[in-house]
Amino acid sequence: MKTYVLPYGKGNQKADIPEDHVLYDLHGPHAEAVEDEEQAVREALRHPIDCQPLDDIIQPSDTVCIVVSDITRLVHTDRMLPVLVQELNRIGVQDHQITVLVSQGTHRAHTEQENEIVCGSDMVRRLHIVQHDCHDASTLTCVGRTSFGNDVYINSLAAKADKLILTGAVSFHPMAGFGGGRKAVLPGIAGFDTIMRNHSLALSEVPGGGCHPGCHAGALEGNPFHEDMKEACAMVRPDFLINTVFTPDGDLYEVVAGHWNTAWEKGCRDLLRIGSVPIQKLADVTIASAGGYPKDLNLYQSVKAHMNAVLATRPGGILIFTLECPDIQEPAIFTDWFFRNDLDACERELRNQFLMPGFVAFKARCIIQSMKAVYVVTRKENFDVIRRSGQIPAASLEEAWQMARTVLEEEGCRDYGITIMSHAAATLPVLCDPDT
C-alpha cells in the first residue's frame, strides 16, 4: 500500500492505495517553477513577443483598460497587476487613468473581499474596478459580426479606452482548447447573447450528435468555439496581453506577454509540452482532484476534472474525485441542468436555446453516464446535490476508495488498473500507441 495525497479545497485528502495496481501517477513532465514572480512579470512586459514594448505603445495621456479574470481562475492577478500598474506609472499613466474590468463572463459579480483576493488590497484601494455584467445592454458596444454569424457585443469601457490590455492564464479548456488569451474578451467581457451564440458552436453540427468533435482540451485547429472567439477578439484589437502559465501542480511556470494572439499561442504550446501526458493504457479506476482551491470552488468549475480524467479511463470504468465545492450550487442554473437525466431532451433544449451552464452540465452528465460509478469526496452538506447529479458522495477519499474496491470485487475484477491525477483540470492525458 502507498498513501496518495490529493488536493481538496485549501487542504488535502489521503487514501492508502495498492501501489502494484497503479498504472500512472500523472503529474506531467517536470517543469521548473519560476522563483521570482515579480521579476518574471517585469521581464515579460519589457521583452514582449511579436509587438513593441509598453513604452512604445502607451502614451502618458492614454486611458487604459486592464481586463482581469474573476476569482474562479488560477491566474496570480494579485502578483501580476501591481507590476503592470507600476510599469504604466513609470510611463506616465496615472492611477486615475486606469480601469480594471473584471471579466465575469456569465458568472456573478465579486464581493469586495473577492476583489481584494483577485487584485490585491492595494490595487483595490488605488484603482477603479468595474464588474462586467453581460446582461446590462446599456454597458455594451457592438464591434462587428464573426464569420459564424455572431454579433459581437463587448463592454464599452474596453471598446472606448485608448489602450486595452488583456490578462489571464493559459490553461486547458474542455471546449475552447485552451483558456486565456482571446477568452478575456469572449466570453470574459461580452454580452450574454454573444456568449451564448459562441458557446452553441460546441454542439455537433448534426442534431442528435451531441458535442462537436473538434471542441475539446488542447484543440485549436478545426475548433469553431475557439475560432469564433479569436475573430471577436481581433475586432477589439487589444494593444497588449500578459498571461501566466502554470505547471500541472499549480506552480507558475512562465509569463508570456506581447501580441494578444501570438504571445498567447506560445503559452499554449508550452502548456501542451508540460501539461499533456502520454499514456498507453486506460485505467479501470481514475482517482482525481481538480487541483484544490480555486479550481474546486464550485461544481461548475470542478467538472473540468471530469473532462480530463475520463480521457484516462476505460468506458464503464470508475471515477473518484476530491472536490470540496464550498459554493457548490453556483451558478444555480448549472445545478438545475446537472440534475436532469434525459440527455436527448437536454440536447434538443440546448439547440433551441443554448446556455453555457446547461452545456457544461450536459457534457459532464454524458461522462457520468458512461461510467460504472462516479464517487465525489466533498462536504456533507453537498451530498444531496451530488446524489441528484447521478454521482455518489463520500466523506473521505478512503471511504470513496473502499466503495470503489467493493464494486471491483463484486465484478470479479482483480487485475484492475488505477490512474492518479492530482491536478486533473490542468493535466491532459493523451492515449498513444505503445509502439510510437
User: Domain spanning 37-246 has what CATH number?
Assistant: 3.40.50.11440
Instruction: Report whether pLDDT(123) > 80.
Output: yes
Q: What's the confidence (pLDDT) of residue 182? A: 98
Which burial class, exposed, middle or buried, applies to 108 when counting CB atoms under 10 A from its CB (0-12, 13-18, 19+)?
Answer: middle
pTM across the whole model:
0.79
Q: Given phi > 0 = left and psi -120 to 50 = alpha, else beta, which region is 62?
A: beta
Spell out the domain ranges in the chain.
Answer: 2-28+277-431, 37-246
Interacting residues of 198 by C-beta distance below 8 A, sequence separation 6+? 148, 150, 186, 187, 190, 225, 228, 229, 232
374-390 pLDDT tens trace:
999 999 999 999 999 99
The continuous run of DSSP H or E covering 377 comes out as strand 373-377
Q: What's the confidence (pLDDT) of residue 435? A: 53
322-357 pLDDT tens trace:
999 999 877 788 888 988 989 889 999 998 888 878
Q: What's the confidence (pLDDT) of residue 425? A: 86
Q: What percent of the chain has pLDDT over 90?
A: 79
Q: What percent of the chain has pLDDT over 70?
A: 99
* Beta strands 428-431; 276-279: pairing state: parallel
Q: What residues form DSSP beta bridges with 15?
A: 4
- Is 21 strand, coil or helix? helix
Q: What's the confidence (pLDDT) of residue 249? A: 74
The residue among 180, 350, 330 whose CA lies nearest residue 263 is 180
Q: What's the confidence (pLDDT) of residue 354? A: 85
Which of 321 and 250 is assigned the larger pLDDT?
Answer: 321
User: Domain spanning 2-28+277-431 has what CATH number?
Assistant: 3.90.226.30
CA distance 272 to 340: 34
126-169 pLDDT tens trace:
999 999 999 999 999 999 999 999 999 999 999 999 999 999 99
CA distance 94 to 158: 18
Q: What's the confidence (pLDDT) of residue 434? A: 59
Where residue 209 falls among pLDDT bands split at 50, 70, 90? confident
178-208 pLDDT tens trace:
999 999 999 999 999 999 999 999 999 888 8
* Mean pLDDT score across all residues of the chain: 94
2-12 pLDDT tens trace:
999 999 999 99
The continuous run of DSSP H or E covering 142 comes out as strand 140-145
Q: What residues form DSSP beta bridges with 376?
A: 321, 393
Instruction: Report whether pLDDT(436) > 70.
Output: no
Radius of gyration for the chain, computed over Cα atoms and rounded to the nearest angstrom? 22
